[in-house]
């Protein structure tokens, strides 16, 4: 079975790029440091649900969509995100 795995950070980065927003601009919108946002996007840290919700608002998307875009099926198992 072919599967595509995307992390929360990858989805956030793709949505941000699609919207044409810089890391610095999004970080300012959601009141976090751009270093922290970079760490999230590069999977060096896992954000809390509170932070994911803030980022989603900054991207003008529903926070649940971030999780929906991370799901994949691999050998019959769904990713925990």
For residue 55, the model assigns a pLDDT of 98
The residue that leads in pLDDT, 11 or 79, is 11
d(CA 74, CA 77): 5
Which helix or strand (DSSP H or E) is residue 29 part of? helix 23-30
| 40 pLDDT more than 70 | yes
For residue 4, the model assigns a pLDDT of 65
pLDDT tens-digit profile of 60-77? Answer: 999 998 988 886 433 344
pTM of structure? 0.81
CATH number of 8-78: 1.10.260.40
Q: In the chain, what are the domain boundaries?
A: 8-78
């Amino acid at each position: 079975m072919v599967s595509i795995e995307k992390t929360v950070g990858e989805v956030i980065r793709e949505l941000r790029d699609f919207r044409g927003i810089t890391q610095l601009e999004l970080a300012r919108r959601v009141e976090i440091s751009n270093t922290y946002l970079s760490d999230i996007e590069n999977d060096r840290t896992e954000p809390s649900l509170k932070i994911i919700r803030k980022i989603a608002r900054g991207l003008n998307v529903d926070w649940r969509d971030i999780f929906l875009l991370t799901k994949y099926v691999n050998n019959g198992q769904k990713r925990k995100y």
